[in-house]
Structure 1
Amino acid sequence: MPRKYLLHALIVVCLTLLLSLWIIGDRLCEIRVTQGSNEYTAFLNYEFKS
């Protein structure tokens, strides 16, 4: 029985990760941190080569 629960837990974790990436996918390459009146922003730029 523990393998059955392990499989269910793995499926739940994978679905949660996929859903989270789908929700924040457009903001995935940007991080903003605000502390008081200061705001720090980091961007990740990338290019696809075909």
Structure 2
Amino acid sequence: MTNQIAIWLGVLILGGLMLDFALFGTEHLLFLGKKFYDFLDWVAFWR
């Protein structure tokens, strides 16, 4: 992955999080954070 791709991917993720925060509030961010942590734990298991 090049630096330019990583920067654009980071910008897209942050933009999506800001849009989610603006439309739905912080409750969804907590839910998504917990699910992302579970997903990382699952991926680490299969590694």
Q: % of aligned pairs identical? A: 15
Alpha-carbon separation, structure 1, partners of 2:22 and 2:4 = 27
Q: CA RMSD in A?
A: 2.0
Unaligned runs of 5+ in 1: 29-50
Alignment coverage as a number of residue pairs: 27
Partner of residue 19, structure 1: 19
Partner of residue 4, structure 2: 4
Q: Find the structure with the greater CA-based Rg.
A: 1
How far apart are residue 12 of structure 1 and its match?
0.2
- TM-score normalised per structure 2: 0.50
- TM-score normalised per structure 1: 0.47
